[in-house]
Amino acid sequence: MSANDLDKAEQGAAEKLNKPENGSPEDGKAADGGLEADEVEPKLAPFAGMGKEELLKVSSEPFWVYLRWTLLVLFWLAWIAMLVGAIVIIVTAPRCAPRPELEWWEHGGFLRVFTRSFKDSDGNGVGDLKGIEEKADYLTDLNVKSLQISAVYSASNFTDVDPAFGTMADFDSLVSTLHDKGLKLVVDFDPNHSGVDHPWFVQSAASKAADNTYKDYYVWADGVGGNPPNNWLSVSGGSAWNYSAARDQWYLHTFQPEQPDLNYRNPDVRAAVKDALRFWAMKGADGFRLTSAKYLVEDSALTDEPANPNYSGDPGKFCVPQYDSLSHPYTTNLDETHTLLQEFRTTLDEFAKDGDSYRLLLTDVMDANVRQVVKYYSSNGTREADIALNYNLLAMQGGGDKPGNKTFGRIQSWLDNLPDGKRANWVIGSESSPRVGGGLYARAANLLLLLLPGTPMAYYGDEIGMADVNGVSTSPMQWNNTDNAGFTNPGVTPWTPLPQNYSTVNVGTQKQDGSSFLSMFQKAAGLRDEPAFQWGAFSNALTTDDVLSFKREHAGATSYLVAINLGGAASSQDYTAAGFPEEGTMALSSGMDRNDEKLKLNAVTLQPGEAIVVSY
């Protein structure tokens, strides 16, 4: 190609590039008749090309300054409004009630020990203080928090240990050991009477002369025609009066003739007994179970008591008048008794004021009238007992007529009559009543005891299913399968007989068995640490003639269904119809054979005597 041809080609290419794409006849023009493509002016941002100084100059204009301050103020106002709104919501929104602070006696269960029968440390066949101390670790293993022991003071001296149980040094050592393990000690104290060999009584019986300081320390009265002063009866039967030739008068004994009643209308007696309480409190006792509480004060006019219209027995059984053949408005539950207990409560409060730990006061009233028993929590608005012992469940029986409904009725009766703010408690065994034993319903009864609202008072031996021996519930504790069940040394005769089944029913054997009565008791006691059982509400779940069931629930915590078949046949219930979920998890079964099992709650089948605890 010649140079001339190359020039022409370049010129043609240039013309083609400048030709409009729409093929306009006007070469080099835009389609709309505007400027040529290479002549279009670019659109620039308002402040494009400005230097720093020019931008600062513009931004300092009043409009932009005002705009910036306005936006800044609006931002902070919005932030403050959100903060205030959040605070208002937090303050005014409904909240879960705080969990109340529990006292030491509310947090865990008690084990009631009959001192004479728990453990013999010196081989004389009688349980003692050292024996209890030897078994302190057992108490912690049980998951109980407090030990309650029968009286260890001497009937002849309210401020000394009965030699049958050891020495004061033994008591001090027991207190120290229990406290080191985080356990509390509550001791029995019977303010109703002393022994006839107590110095007070010896001097009181010696003379009724005015200069005898102890003349009126006990309840004395003249006879009527050689007979007792009135018709009052002893709890054990026969007249409540015993004659003293030295005074030519009769003294009152609500119980045995060897147990003369103190006279609390004498201020010196009131002061002396308060000093005895102070003595044991200073020794380290964390509380007192006052026995015979309803008998403390009697009618000063010695009015005869009326016949009991509901008595159906033989009033002359065993050739002596029977206590229940009379009603007892003049010897029990007098207003003066409540006043006295208020004074005892005030005495124990002295220790809390000094920065010492709170001293618990329990009253043992043993009255079939629930309304009468709960009066011992307070009277006329004045505090008395922290716990008035509730024996309402002692009548609980498996089988029989409608045991489910009847047992729930006993539970609800106590809760309905319990004064506001007072602590419920439950007892299913004691030295003065038959044991629940190791029968078909024994596991269920103990599980019920431990999981009801309030404080459970377990009785030694019930945790392994011990039974009565010849109708006696104070047989020696069964520790192992060796001679004498480990209660005392081999070859020694225990103070009361052992049952024949101790070779299999004992602590040592059951410790090795994960499905044992003891294992179930320990696990049930451990469940009490769950919020639902510590603070949770109690309500009926689905109770029938045979099945007792209830729920324990606390906001924000796991809830539980407790179901017990007290009847004589298997029973199946649909708990979903009562508002429960479709499924739950078995937290505990009385046989220890269904733990952790997933359970459909629309068809829960329980065998006779079976009890379950289901979490959901």
- Confidence at residue 90, expressed as pLDDT on a 0 to 100 scale: 78
**Torsion-angle region of 507 (φ positive above 0: left; ψ -120 to 50: alpha; else: beta):** alpha
pLDDT at 18 over 80: no
* Separation of alpha carbons 260 and 169, rounded Å: 29
- Confidence at residue 95, expressed as pLDDT on a 0 to 100 scale: 62
* Separation of alpha carbons 132 and 147, rounded Å: 10
* Separation of alpha carbons 157 and 261, rounded Å: 15
User: Percentage of the chain with pLDDT > 70?
Assistant: 88
Which residues have CB under 8 Å from 459's CB, separation 6+? 111, 112, 427, 428, 429, 430, 431, 435, 473
The amino acid occupying position 27 is D
- Check residue 40 and report its DSSP letter: P
pLDDT at 263 over 70: yes
To 5 degrees, how large is the angle CA 229–CA 336–CA 196? Answer: 50
**DSSP letter string, 400-458:** SSSHHHHHHHHHHHHHHHSPTTPPPEEES--TTS---TTSTTHHHHHHHHHHSSSEEEE
- Confidence at residue 33, expressed as pLDDT on a 0 to 100 scale: 44
pLDDT at 28 over 70: no
pTM of the entire predicted model? 0.83
Nearest to 147 by CA among 120, 178, 122, 191: 178
pLDDT at 49 over 70: no
pLDDT at 25 over 90: no
Strand partners, 589: 612
Which residues have CB under 8 Å from 228's CB, separation 6+? 239, 240, 241, 250
* Separation of alpha carbons 361 and 376, rounded Å: 11
Question: What's the average model confidence in pLDDT over 87-98?
Answer: 72
pLDDT at 9 over 50: no
* Separation of alpha carbons 16 and 229, rounded Å: 147
How do residues 333-372 score in pLDDT, each as one tens digit?
A: 999 999 999 999 999 999 987 667 899 999 999 998 999 9
How do residues 301-320 score in pLDDT, each as one tens digit?
A: 999 999 999 998 776 665 67
How do residues 117-141 score in pLDDT, each as one tens digit?
A: 999 999 999 999 999 999 999 999 9
How do residues 383-432 score in pLDDT, each as one tens digit?
A: 999 999 999 999 887 788 899 999 999 999 999 999 999 999 999 999 99
Question: What's the average model confidence in pLDDT over 561-583?
Answer: 96
- Confidence at residue 46, expressed as pLDDT on a 0 to 100 scale: 58
Count of helices and strands (H, E) across the chain:
17, 23
User: Percentage of the chain with pLDDT > 90?
Assistant: 77
- Give, in order, the Cα–Cα distances in Å from 480 to each of 129, 247, 368, 483, 519: 20, 53, 37, 8, 16
CB contact at 8 A, 476 and 487: yes
Question: What's the average model confidence in pLDDT over 109-117?
Answer: 98
- Confidence at residue 317, expressed as pLDDT on a 0 to 100 scale: 61
- Confidence at residue 314, expressed as pLDDT on a 0 to 100 scale: 73
The band of 438, judged by pLDDT with boundaries at 50, 70 and 90, is: confident
Positive or negative: CA dihedral 370, 373, 379, 381: negative
- Confidence at residue 420, expressed as pLDDT on a 0 to 100 scale: 93
The band of 3, judged by pLDDT with boundaries at 50, 70 and 90, is: very low
The band of 24, judged by pLDDT with boundaries at 50, 70 and 90, is: very low
pLDDT at 37 over 80: no
Q: Per mean pLDDT, which of 57-71, 190-204, 300-314 is the most reliable?
A: 190-204
Question: What's the average model confidence in pLDDT over 85-107?
Answer: 78
pLDDT at 26 over 90: no
- Confidence at residue 466, expressed as pLDDT on a 0 to 100 scale: 96
How do residues 468-522 score in pLDDT, each as one tens digit?
A: 999 999 999 999 999 999 999 999 999 999 999 999 999 999 999 999 999 999 9
- Confidence at residue 210, expressed as pLDDT on a 0 to 100 scale: 95
How do residues 143-181 score in pLDDT, each as one tens digit?
A: 999 999 999 999 999 999 999 999 999 999 999 999 999
Question: What's the average model confidence in pLDDT over 581-588?
Answer: 97
Lowest-confidence range among 59-63, 465-469, 554-558? Answer: 59-63
